[in-house]
Chains A and B, each alone.
Chain A
Amino acid sequence: MSWLSNALTSSIGRKIIMAVTGLFLCSFLVVHLVGNLQLFKNDGGAAFNIYSHFMGTNPIIRTLEFGLLFGFGFHIYEAFVLTGKNRKARGSQGYVANHIEQNSPWQSRNMGLLGTIILVFLLVHLYNFFYRARFGDLDPDINNNDDLYTLVVSSFHQWWYVLLYVLAQVALCYHLIHGFKSAFQSLGLTHRKYTPFVTYLGYAFSVLVCAGFAAMPLYFFFLQ
Chain B
Amino acid sequence: MAGSNPNAKPMNLTLKVWRQKNRDAQGNIVDYQVRDISPDMSFLEMLDVLNEDLLRQGQEPVAFDHDCREGICGSCNLFINGRAHGPEPGTTTCQLHMRKFSDGDTITIEPWRAEAFPVNKDLSVDRSAFDRIIQAGGYVSVNTGGVPDANEIPIPKSIADQAFDAATCIGCGACVAACKNASAMLFVSAKVSQLALLPQGQVERKTRVENMIAQMDKEGFGACTNIGSCAAECPVGISLENIAILNREFLAAKATSNNLA
Instruction: Please give the residue numbers on chain A whose beta carbons come within 8 Å of chain B beta carbons, in ascending order.
Output: 2-4, 6-7, 10-16, 82, 85-86, 88-100, 102-105, 108-109, 111, 178, 181-182, 185-190
Contacts and interface: CB of A to CB of B under 8 A. Distances in A.
Contact of A11 (B217, B240, B260): B217
A1 to B, nearest CB: 9
B81 A90 contact: no
Contacts of A10: 213-214, 217, 250
Interface string B225-256: 11111001100000011011111111100100
Contacts of A103: 83, 178, 228-229, 232-233
B254 A95 contact: no
B113 interface: yes
A89 B18 contact: no
B181 A86 contact: yes
Q: Dominant SS at the A interface?
A: helix
A181 B261 CA distance: 31
Interface string B87-122: 100000000000000000000101001111000000
A100 B232 CA distance: 10
B79 A15 contact: no
Contacts of B250: 7, 10, 12, 188
Given A86-B183, A102-B83, A188-B247, A182 B114 contact: no
Given A10-B214, A96-B29, A103-B228, A90 B222 contact: yes
Contact of B244 (A13, A90, A96, A189): A189
Given A11-B224, A93-B27, A86 B83 contact: no
Given A10-B217, A103-B229, A86 B182 contact: yes
A85 B180 CA distance: 12
A104 B227 CA distance: 6
11 contacts: A7-B254, A13-B254, A85-B222, A86-B222, A89-B181, A90-B182, A95-B110, A99-B81, A104-B227, A185-B240, A188-B249
Contacts, number: 149
A11 B220 CA distance: 10
A122 to B, nearest CB: 21
B134 interface: no
Given A10-B250, A89-B220, 8 more contacts: A3-B259, A14-B223, A85-B223, A91-B114, A95-B79, A96-B16, A98-B82, A104-B229
Nearest to A8: B254
B225 A82 contact: yes
Contacts of B232: 103-104
B82 A97 contact: yes
B83 A99 contact: yes
Given A178-B226, A186-B226, A90 B114 contact: yes
Nearest to A88: B115
Contacts of B181: 86, 89-90
Nearest to A187: B247
Contacts of A108: 225-228
Contacts of B87: 102
A56 B222 CA distance: 42
Contact of B182 (A82, A89, A185, A186): A89
A197 to B, nearest CB: 15
Contacts of A14: 223
Contact of B226 (A88, A95, A182): A182
A109 B181 CA distance: 10
Contacts of B220: 88-89
Contacts of B222: 11, 85-86, 88-90
B206 to A, nearest CB: 12
B244 A185 contact: yes
A74 B180 CA distance: 23
Contact of B113 (A15, A93, A181): A93
B216 interface: yes
B45 to A, nearest CB: 22
A191 to B, nearest CB: 9
Interface in B112-165: 113-116
